[in-house]
Chain A
Amino acid sequence: MMLEETKKATYTIPVGPIHPALKEPIRLALTVDGEEIVDVDIFVGHVHRGIEWLGMNRNNPIQSIYVSERICGICNICHPFAFVMAVEHATGITPPPRAEYIRTIIAEMERIHSHLLWAGVAAHEIGFDTIFYLTWRVREEIMDLIEYVTGNRVTKAMFQIGGVRRDITEEQFPRIRQSLDYYKSLFDQLKRVFLDDKTIQMRTKNVGILKKEDALKLLTVGPSGRASGVPKDVRQNQPYAAYADLDIKVTTPDILTGTVVGDVYDRIIVRLLEVKQAIEIIEQCLEKMPPGPILAQPKTALLLKTLTKAEGEGIGRAEAPRGEVVHYVRLEAGQSTLATWKVRAPTYVNLMSAPTILKGMQIADVPIAFASLDPCLSCTNRIVVTDRATGQKSVTDYEELHRLSVEKTRKLQR
């Protein structure tokens, strides 16, 4: 009887799409019973820009590299990385070994910047702005290094099909090592700040638990999955670029604590350890980098000709800071654009874990628990088709309805 009454009393709180706790537009419908969250529904599609369509209708494959870079402003190395690997797989172009090492170095630089960015945002979500500012100050060092190596802070434009566009020369090594040493000297301090602080422990321990079974069932990828004890990492499981030559092990929280809980605290541990791992990978790359050319075909016009003639399909998999990103392309002979381009970003699968994580928690824990997945919505929003025939909820608003109605009237008038 009591249960019946409380069930009736549930209330749905809409969050977003524009909301101060969310950095990107997404709409969450939280069904709450008092303070406890009973159910969560997620609506995406506010950042859908039709990128795959552009690659299939407007751009040639080389131009698509730069569009793929703009899928996400944070992971704008891993998307072109997976994309060029997919095209190389389809066409049989092999990048020279030096290019593979340069790709690995910048991919790991991106991981450092992305994880530090996440750590800052997570601290901000629990209201610990001092740490947010501290982490972002520390992050500027890697931004400087990225600018030094690639020429730009955010969109790096380093990738080309069959290699990279800029070389990392011997003269640049001391500057790179200087930045890596800076992070190595800071690592213990960062570890103390994030893992030993009482406030952070109180807000993150046993919050937003995702058990290993659930993570396996929901196909959680990346650091969120590894924090639940799923030893999944493309860099180790299916090494690409130079990762096969390097010493890489999957990072799980039990390396540091001995147990796997799968809570927000464990996700912090995994990301911190991965920053350290990324530094070690860059150091190994600098030592082992072979000399040689950086492009398989330096002439863009010739490369474009090969791509227009090429036929076949390919898959590129890369380990983004948020998890596994997969690009699929199909090329048809005589067609200047891609015949098919499909992107599967890590957040797309990780969002499915969000309802499991949020259920049973308090409303105040939503920002940190949701942010702990490191959702990147601009990667995710690819679906525009709403199935109205099956009676599914459609997110049309008044203006859209009005437009549809006007269109129908015009059609009938003809």
Chain B
Amino acid sequence: MSLKAFKRALWVYHLNTGSCNGCDIEILAVLTPRYDVERFGIRLVGSPRHADVLLVTGPVIKQMVPRVKRIYEQTPDPKLVMVVGNCGIEGGVFYESYNLAGPVDQIIPVDVYVPGCPPRPEAIIHGVAMAWVKLEKAEQGVR
């Protein structure tokens, strides 16, 4: 994909639903100088109300279910949900555990999946770029 596709800034909100930190530190690594996604206008925001994309990590723990739903509802439309890491996609190494409320897509609708345990920073950037394309298409469909 060419760089001209980034017509505007994409703000992401990071939601940890019980992840082991592996994906979370890779998400931070994506923001810092080596990978530096801020040059594309992608930045991490402190509130879901400011976000275009929800970055969800972790297999949703039972205690987190109402919080995940609430955060999803707080994010303004059009929005996208991106799952980072295997455990959010299908449970990963924790798939049979008693305290999981299932993968993320059983709680809230998911648009982009980034597999890996944890995914490489390049894969996360690629995922955000895919999310951007989808968001653009959704907006065109609305108009």
Q: Is the CB of A45 within 8 A of B33?
A: no
Residue interface mask A148-170, B partner, CB < 8 A = 1: 00000111000000000000000
A184 to B140: give the CA distance in the assembly, Å. 54
A395 to B64: give the CA distance in the assembly, Å. 12
Residues of A within 8 A of B20 (CB): 49, 70-73, 76, 378
Q: Is the CB of B46 within 8 A of A20?
A: yes
Interchain pairs with CB closer than 8 A, number: 123
Any chain A CB within 8 A of the CB of B81?
no
A9 to B137: give the CA distance in the assembly, Å. 53
Any chain A CB within 8 A of the CB of B93?
yes
Q: Is the CB of A67 within 8 A of B93?
A: yes
Q: Which of A290-333 contact B (CB under 8 A)?
A: none
A67 to B22: give the CA distance in the assembly, Å. 13
Q: Is the CB of A54 within 8 A of B19?
A: no
- A51, A73, A378, A397 — most chain B CB neighbours (10 Å): A73
| Given A18-B71, A133-B33, A53 contacting B98 (CB threshold 8 A) | yes
| Given A17-B67, A397-B66, A49 contacting B61 (CB threshold 8 A) | yes
Contact of B18 among A46, A54, A397, A398 (CB under 8 A): A46
Residues of A within 8 A of B21 (CB): 23-24, 72-74, 376, 378
A76 to B61: give the CA distance in the assembly, Å. 21
- Please give the number of chain A residues whose Cβ is less than 8 angstroms from any Cβ of chain B in the complex: 43
Residues of B within 8 A of A249 (CB): none
A51 to B23: give the CA distance in the assembly, Å. 18
CB distance from A189 to the nearest CB of B (A): 16
CB distance from B15 to the nearest CB of A (A): 7
A376 to B16: give the CA distance in the assembly, Å. 13
Residue interface mask A34-64, B partner, CB < 8 A = 1: 0000000000011111110110001000000
Residues of A within 8 A of B58 (CB): 47
A76 to B93: give the CA distance in the assembly, Å. 14
Q: Is the CB of A136 within 8 A of B28?
A: yes
A49 to B100: give the CA distance in the assembly, Å. 7
CB distance from B97 to the nearest CB of A (A): 4
Any chain B CB within 8 A of the CB of A140?
yes
* Minimal Cβ-Cβ distance residue in B for A121: B28
- B46, B67, B92 — most chain A CB neighbours (10 Å): B67
Q: Is the CB of A395 within 8 A of B63?
A: yes
B residues whose Cβ falls under 8 Å from a Cβ of A: 15-26, 28-29, 32-34, 46-47, 58-59, 61-67, 71, 87, 92-94, 96-100, 117-118, 120
**Selected A-B contacts with CB under 8 Å, 28 pairs:** A17-B64, A20-B46, A24-B16, A45-B63, A46-B18, A46-B61, A46-B63, A49-B94, A49-B97, A50-B98, A50-B100, A54-B96, A70-B87, A70-B92, A70-B117, A71-B20, A73-B21, A73-B22, A73-B23, A73-B25, A76-B22, A136-B28, A136-B32, A153-B118, A155-B22, A155-B117, A378-B19, A399-B66
The 8 closest A-B pairs by CB, nearest first: A73-B22, A20-B46, A136-B32, A73-B21, A50-B97, A137-B33, A140-B34, A73-B20
